[in-house]
C-alpha cells in the first residue's frame, strides 16, 4: 500500500518494533506532520475477548474530560413532556414518528440517537439499519433513558460510545491533534480506565493485548502495555 510523503516522514520517526510509553506516544503524535485538516486522534485496542459470547462483550460509554473537538448532532426520539426537556438541553432534533419516517427514507444527518424507554418498541424494526452504523440506542451506553436532559448534555460535552467488534477490536476517536498534549493524554487515560474497569469476569487470560494510537492520516504508535497500566494507577 502506497503512503503519502507526509505519512512516510512521520513513520521515519518511529523505531521499528519499539513500544512507547503514553507520554512518548503523545509527544510523537504532536510531532508528526499533519494533513490540512484537524485530524482525529484515534485509539485502537485488541482485547482478549470473544464478543460472540454475551459474557465477554465489552460495550459502554465514557465522558472524555476535554471533549472530542467536534460538534455532535443529537437526535432525541421521545414523546410528551420529554420533548421540551430534550430541546432545552440542546438536542438538535427532537420528535418521534416524523424522524423515524425520515430515517426509513435514508436520512442520517445526526451522530447520536438518545431515546426514552417508552419509544424503543418503535425502533425495533430499525435495528438492521441503525445497528451496523453504531447508532442504535442502548441502555449500557446511557442512550436509552428517561433522563434525556442529562444524556444530551453529556453527549454534547464529549461522551463517546464504544463497542468491541467481532474480532475483539475497539476503535474510538478521543480528540483532535490540535489539542494540547496533556488534553490528549487525559482523554486517552479516561478511556483506558473505563476499558480496564469493564474487563469481563469470565476472562482468565490476557485482557489487554495491544494498544495503538494514531492520527487520521498518520502511522500507528504501539504503546507499552505495562507502562500504560502504571500510568493509569
Q: Which residues contact 145 (CB under 8 A, 6 or more apart)?
A: 114, 116, 117, 139, 151
Domain contains 93: yes
C-alpha cell belonging to residue 157: 460535552
CA distance 224 to 21: 6
Amino acid 1: pLDDT: 63
Amino acid 119: pLDDT: 96
CA distance 108 to 92: 13
Instruction: Say how far residue 130 (Cα) sits from the centre of its chain.
Output: 16
**What's the first-to-final CA gap in the chain, in angstroms?**
39
Count up the domains in the chain and report the number.
2
Amino acid 156: pLDDT: 92
By three-state DSSP, how is residue 63 classified? strand
Residue 102's Cβ-side half-sphere holds a number of Cα atoms within 13 Å equal to 13
C-alpha cell belonging to residue 205: 487470560
Residue at grid coordinates 440517537: 113
CATH code of 123's domain: 3.40.50.790
Q: Give the domain range for residue 151.
A: 74-157
CA distance 222 to 210: 7
Block mean pLDDT (10 aa), the chain, length 233: 82 93 96 89 96 90 91 94 95 96 95 96 92 89 94 92 91 95 97 95 92 95 95 82
Domain contains 2: no
Q: How many CB atoms lie within 10 A of CB 12?
A: 8
CA angle 106, 159, 82 (to 5 degrees): 65
Domain contains 8: no
Domain contains 42: yes
Q: How many CB atoms lie within 10 A of CB 17?
A: 6
Amino acid 4: pLDDT: 82
- 87 and 192 in a single domain? The answer is no
Q: Please say which residue of 157, 178, 200 terminates a domain.
A: 157
- 164 and 147 in a single domain? The answer is no
What pTM does this model have?
A: 0.81
Domain contains 5: no
Amino acid at each position: 500500500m502506497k503512503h503519502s510523503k507526509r505519512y512516510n516522514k512521520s513513520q521515519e520517526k518511529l523505531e521499528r518494533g519499539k513500544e512507547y510509553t503514553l507520554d512518548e506516544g503523545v509527544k510523537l503524535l504532536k510531532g508528526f506532520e499533519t494533513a490540512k485538516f484537524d485530524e482525529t486522534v484515534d485509539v485502537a485496542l485488541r482485547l482478549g475477548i470473544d464478543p460472540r459470547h454475551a459474557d465477554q462483550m465489552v460495550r459502554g460509554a465514557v465522558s472524555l474530560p476535554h471533549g472530542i473537538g467536534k460538534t455532535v448532532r443529537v437526535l432525541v426520539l421521545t414523546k410528551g413532556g420529554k420533548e421540551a426537556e430534550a430541546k432545552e438541553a440542546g438536542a438538535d432534533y427532537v420528535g418521534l414518528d416524523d424522524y423515524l419516517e425520515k430515517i426509513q427514507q435514508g436520512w442520517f444527518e445526526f451522530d447520536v440517537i438518545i431515546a426514552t424507554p417508552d419509544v424503543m418498541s418503535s425502533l425495533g424494526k430499525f435495528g438492521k439499519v441503525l445497528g451496523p452504523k453504531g447508532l442504535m440506542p442502548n441502555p449500557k451506553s446511557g442512550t436509552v433513558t428517561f433522563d434525556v436532559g442529562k444524556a444530551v448534555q453529556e453527549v454534547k460535552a464529549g461522551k463517546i460510545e464504544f463497542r468491541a467488534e467481532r474480532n475483539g477490536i475497539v476503535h474510538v476517536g478521543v480528540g483532535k491533534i490540535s489539542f494540547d498534549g496533556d488534553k490528549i493524554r487525559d482523554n486517552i487515560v479516561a478511556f483506558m480506565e473505563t476499558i480496564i474497569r469493564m474487563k469481563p469476569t469470565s476472562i482468565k487470560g490476557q485482557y489487554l493485548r495491544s494498544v495503538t494510537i494514531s492520527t487520521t492520516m498518520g502511522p500507528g504508535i504501539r504503546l507499552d502495555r505495562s507502562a500504560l497500566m502504571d500510568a493509569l494507577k
